[in-house]
Amino acid sequence: MSFASLDLIDGLLRTLESIGYNTPTPIQKQAIPAILAGRDLLGAAQTGTGKTAAFALPLLQRLTMEGGPAAPNHVRCLVLVPTRELADQVYQSFHSYGFHLPLRSAVAYGGVPMDPQLAKLRKGLDVLVATPGRLLDLHRKGAIEFGQLTALVLDEADRMLDLGFAADLDLLFAVLPAERQTLLFSATMPDPIRAMARQLLRDPLTVQASAPNTAARTVRQMVFTTDKRNKPELFVHLLRKEGWGQVLVFVKTRKGVEQLTALLQGEGISADSIHGDKPQLARIKALKRFKANDVQILVATDVAARGLDIEALPLVVNFDLPTVAEDYVHRIGRTGRAGAEGEAISLICADEVELLRAIEKLTGAVLPRLEEAGFEADHRVPSTGAPSAPAARAPAAKPARGAAKPAKGAAAGTAARPAVKQPAPARDETPRPAGGFGGLKEELPPKEKQRSRGPIYGARAGSPGAGASGGRSGTGASGGQGGKVVVTATRGAKSTARAAGRAASKPGGRGNKR
């Protein structure tokens, strides 16, 4: 099947040809015709499945073919995302795909001046990609009108609830037109997301690109057991022994991110960080350096790394396990994208066994355990209760190459990221934490990690409206040819706020999400 067979217009086909998109992914084959027909849609899709193109392409077409231009301060299509980084990524995709179309698009999020966003809104927009917090600020200023809105997209909806956006979403849904097309995408399907779908979607088509709560089959997962105090030294040891190339490392707190980054720099390893306390421009700079291979290690919190799109990233390391099991799926989804091979390694200690048990229960997979000689745990990591083989010794050391290499088991011909350009050692730039490798201290998760899964969403009536979006991107969101797509049509039953309120709820602050 080709994109032309999906009845896309010439302007979109020209762009797809120029960026090398030849064959639609499974989710694109199912979602594009439904969205073109005006259906509401519920998509269970991991990153790397071609999800963004699956909704952006048909929405761009509908915006081009239906309705008139946006009036000043009006928006025709609204795309809500949980984080700034994801907002930029999705906006760039719209911008790229719509290069040959007469449409205007923009992105709005916090942490940057509002005036440029206000200036673009004054001209009217076909597509606005925004975080809920900044969108509410713009609405309160009277800078945005929704009278022409025909399409709403909720991308990574599970993450929006995780970050405490429930109240913001309630306020936004109350001012949006009832007559609209609504598309909801989520990598995981907890009860609050299902409740949201029942309230917002009308007779939706459900598209499942992969089993919910599972990683891509191309990602090789394993854990190394050790004591908490030995984690920093074990990470550096494995980095050098295995000759790792670029690595995205997840740490659960902002303070922990900075401590690990300083430690790595003190060891002469090129490292940078992104987290919620870091200014947005500094986060953008760190990410650009990592994408350009100027930095070998990027240390991040879950919030800051959400939506990162890094081509051919070979390895993700969980320095700490996430406190919410679904975040594990999101983390390791940064590798193994678009059908490529990837590897996900977790360093775990005895204190994290309950977190590991929750992850294995969620994913339905028992993660193989390894021990590295010299770093064996004094405090044994108990069994999670699932059948698994005893801990194995890690493979013998291989000569370090200092460059990225394909993940173990990668198919012949799999492209690896090019060698990292190693800058001069940064030993004197950042002080090493006191206590050497054991100097990393644990702290309670900040507000950025507190969860809110409370009731949300005002009930919605009406039929799907015409929908759409416009823009242009530097990177295309296509991938993951493997895996079956399961398509089902579900009747959108009206649900009450009381039913939504039965979902488990945790108090949550907004932290740095705008």
DSSP notation for 23-34: S--HHHHHHHHH
Cα(492)–Cα(427) distance, integer angstroms: 59
Rg, the chain, Cα only: 23
Q: Give the pLDDT confidence score for residue 276 in this predicted structure.
A: 82
Q: Are residues 167 and 43 in the same domain?
A: yes
Last residue of a domain, one of 407, 424, 448: 448
Tell me the mean pLDDT in the region 421-444. Answer: 36
Q: Which of 361, 400, 416, 408 is nearest to 384 (CA)?
A: 361
End-to-end CA distance of the chain: 40
DSSP secondary structure string for all residues of 221-244 = EEEEE--GGGHHHHHHHHHHHTT-
* pLDDT confidence tier of residue 307, bands split at 50, 70 and 90: low
Choose the weakest-confidence range: 240-249, 303-312, 318-327, 406-415. 406-415
188 and 303 fall within a common domain:
no
pLDDT at residue 22, rounded to an integer = 86
In a domain, 510, yes or no: no
What is the structure's pLDDT at 504?
37
Mean pLDDT of the chain: 78
pLDDT of residue 338: 66
Distance CA 36, CA 59 (A): 7
Query: Could you tell me if 195 and 247 lie in one domain?
Result: no
pLDDT in tens, 497-510: 333 333 434 434 43
Tally of structural domains, the chain: 2
Query: Is the four-CA dihedral 192, 196, 202, 205 of positive or negative sign?
Result: negative
Per-residue pLDDT reduced to its tens digit, 164-179:
899 999 999 999 999 9
* Domain co-membership, 113 together with 168: yes
**pLDDT at residue 262, rounded to an integer:** 96
Give a yes or no: residue 454 inside a domain.
no
pLDDT for res 306: 62
Please indicate, yes or no, whether residues 347 and 440 belong to a single structural domain of this protein.
Answer: yes
Amino acid at 368: P
What's residue 419's pLDDT?
Answer: 47
Dump pLDDT digits (tens) for 359-405. 998 888 899 999 999 999 998 888 887 544 444 445 444 433 334 33
List pLDDT tens digits, range 222-280: 999 999 999 999 999 999 999 999 999 999 999 999 999 999 999 999 999 999 888 88
Choice between 30 and 444, residue whose per-residue pLDDT is larger? 30
Confidence of residue 326 (pLDDT cuts 50, 70, 90): confident
Residue 124: per-residue pLDDT? 98
Amino acid of residue 293: N
C-alpha closest to that of 42 among 217, 199, 213: 199
To the nearest whole percent, how much of the chain has pLDDT over 70? 71
The pLDDT value recorded for residue 216 is 61
pLDDT tens sequence across 31-87: 999 999 999 999 987 766 789 999 999 999 999 999 899 999 999 999 999 988 889
Residue 214 within a domain: no
Query: What is the average pLDDT across 296-312?
Result: 79
What pLDDT, on a 0 to 100 scale, did the predictor assign at position 398?
Answer: 41
Crossing angle of the two packed helices 10-18 and 84-97, in degrees rounded to 10? 110
- Strands of 40-135, DSSP E: 41-44, 75-80, 105-108, 125-130
pLDDT given for residue 406 in this prediction: 37
415 and 345 co-located in one domain: yes
Note whether 121 and 55 are same-domain residues. Answer: yes
Same domain, 366 and 443: yes
- The pLDDT assigned to 300 comes to 93
pLDDT at 296: 96
Q: Report the pLDDT value the prediction gives residue 501, as an integer from 0 to 100.
A: 37
- Residue 160, pLDDT > 80, answer yes
Which tokens is 211 given? 């089993």
Per-residue pLDDT at 493: 35
User: DSSP 3-state assignment of 345?
Assistant: strand
**Range of 374's domain?**
219-448
- Residue 212 inside a domain? The answer is no
CATH of the domain at 492: 3.40.50.300
Higher pLDDT, 310 or 351: 351
Model confidence band, residue 431 (pLDDT cutoffs 50, 70, 90): very low
Interval 90-147: pLDDT, tens: 999 999 999 999 999 999 999 899 999 999 999 999 999 999 999 999 999 999 999 9
Q: What per-residue confidence (pLDDT) applies to 261?
A: 97
Residue 453 lies in a domain: no
pLDDT at 424: 39
Dist CA 383 CA 357 (whole Å) = 9
- Model confidence at 466: pLDDT above 50: no
Q: Which long-range contacts (CB under 8 A, 24 or more apart) does 226-230 make?
A: 226/347, 226/348, 226/349, 226/371, 226/372, 226/375, 226/376, 226/377, 227/349, 227/350, 227/377, 227/378, 227/379, 228/349, 228/351, 228/442, 229/437, 229/438, 230/375, 230/377, 230/437, 230/438
Question: Is 390 found in the same domain as 245?
Answer: yes
User: Do both 55 and 171 map to the same domain?
Assistant: yes
Task: State whether 10 and 76 are in the same domain.
Answer: yes
pTM for this model (two decimals): 0.58
In our burial notation (b when 16+ CB lie closer than 10 A, e otherwise), range 116-131 reads ebeeebeebbbbbbbb
Same domain, 79 and 142: yes
Q: What is the pLDDT of residue 329?
A: 84
